[in-house]
Amino acid sequence: MQISVRFGGKTSFIQAEPSQLILSLKTLVGNACSLDSSMMALQHNSKALEDSKTVASYGIRNFDTIVMYPRVLGGGGNMSENDGAMAMKEKNDCLICRRCYARSGKSAQKCRKCDSKDLRPKKPLKTMKKK
């Protein structure tokens, strides 16, 4: 069967078998688009395709379209302590409107949402004691 793969506005066609694993399909797509198969994810009908399942288990038929998108690594879990502390300081260094509870910058004179001048500094985070 022939499957179309969309990525970044381009469409390429690849040959696949219904009994083929999604992992091997990723390798074919990676070769066609010159990308590493571990850094991509495939989607069919808005469902993410798992590597351990087959093409037929997702109901992919001839001339169906699969969307490929790059896997983006994110999150703050691997941040150093110094960078995390600096980010938390910037996040907590603002003013809160007493009327609508909107956050405004630390040098704001009035609320950005309701134009009230009744602003207070954001309370510092409570530190939890480790047991």
User: Tens of pLDDT along 14-64?
Assistant: 999 999 999 999 998 888 777 888 888 999 998 999 999 999 999 999 999
pLDDT value for 98: 95
Mean pLDDT of the chain: 86
Contact 102, 41 (CB under 8 A): no
Pairing of strands 2-7, 65-70: parallel
Work out the number of other CB atoms within 10 angstroms of the CB of residue 119. Answer: 20
Name the percent of the chain lying above pLDDT 90.
44
Could you please state the CATH topology (level 3) that the domain comprising 2-70 is classified under.
Ubiquitin-like (UB roll) (3.10.20)
Residue 72 has pLDDT above 80, yes or no: no
User: Tens of pLDDT along 89-121?
Assistant: 767 788 999 999 999 988 999 999 999 999 999
Q: Pick from 79, 80, 84, 119: which is nearest to 102 by CA? A: 119
Whole-prediction pTM value? Answer: 0.54
Q: Tell me the domain boundaries of the chain.
A: 2-70, 81-119
Q: In the structure, what pLDDT confidence band is assigned to residue 130 with cuts at 50, 70 and 90?
A: low
Interatomic CA distance for residues 13 and 11, integer angstroms: 7
Show contacts of 75-83: CB within 8 Å, 24+ apart: none
